[in-house]
Structure 1
């Protein structure tokens, strides 16, 4: 196309219809985007403030596994040819979608220190505060008072099933806030879905007050 335009010269440009390059896989790309749209996704548990990336459920441990599911389940049902795995991976990046990988939470200061964004003294002060907090926690365990820790589980999608047809069904975001008694090892779970409440400070304050 470039050589053809050079040959015609600036004063003899082809019309707009000749200039338009049609994507030979337009239907396949549209079908792939529909597949990714229908697969349930969730926000990051720890990085919601810093990224808009969406994560797939941990049923697929690799892009290859997800691609195989797309090729064997979605494409035959849509009567369409699957795209290459390279095009599949590229579309995942364009749509800002990633595989879900559970990992331990890491605070911003520790991560910033690893990247060289904060000085050594500030990092050391941060570590000392962390160690002091852990010592206080151990001391609290030795007192007569009850000691509780609280944390929220990662976002769950319900219902959960390995039946492929259910992957494309609309699912509810479900939240689980846990309180643990360090003295007698009793755990308490407060479970609700997105139709019953959100993730605001009011929701957590209500749970803590009711628990106390």
Structure 2
């Protein structure tokens, strides 16, 4: 109630209290013996250490996956597609995790910063593993079949990879009436020359 009445943050009040204690302690030491006054610096504790540790544990326990095609480009881990936005993940953190663990929730900004420092991303990259690579990883395809791709690249003939990209909506608009009345779904088919890139 005190913090909300004066629109203060927990850290500011904690620092005031800590500095007042230190000043009072210094005055008492000076009064006892002016000759043997030794100032010892204390390491200040983080008043939100418990909350920070709880948030890191929450992020560690989320199921994450490493993407096959993006390993050379990024070291990030990606959350499963249940989470459509950081805000929905934050709401889950507040309502489910904090309430069940009896821990105060941190701010949205601190939540987003922690996701970044822990190298976790919400949105999946556009590139995903192909069925052949997944089958090879599971042991359904032999090494000979995978080596055929390299042989094809080294041959004189052209080699193309063809894929259908994500479904696109046209026209692209956030106006709900236009979106629902005139939506056209487009399958964007792409071809890539593996030899010439």
Q: Could you state the TM-score of these two structures normalised by the residue count of structure 2?
A: 0.48
State the structure with more CA Rg.
2
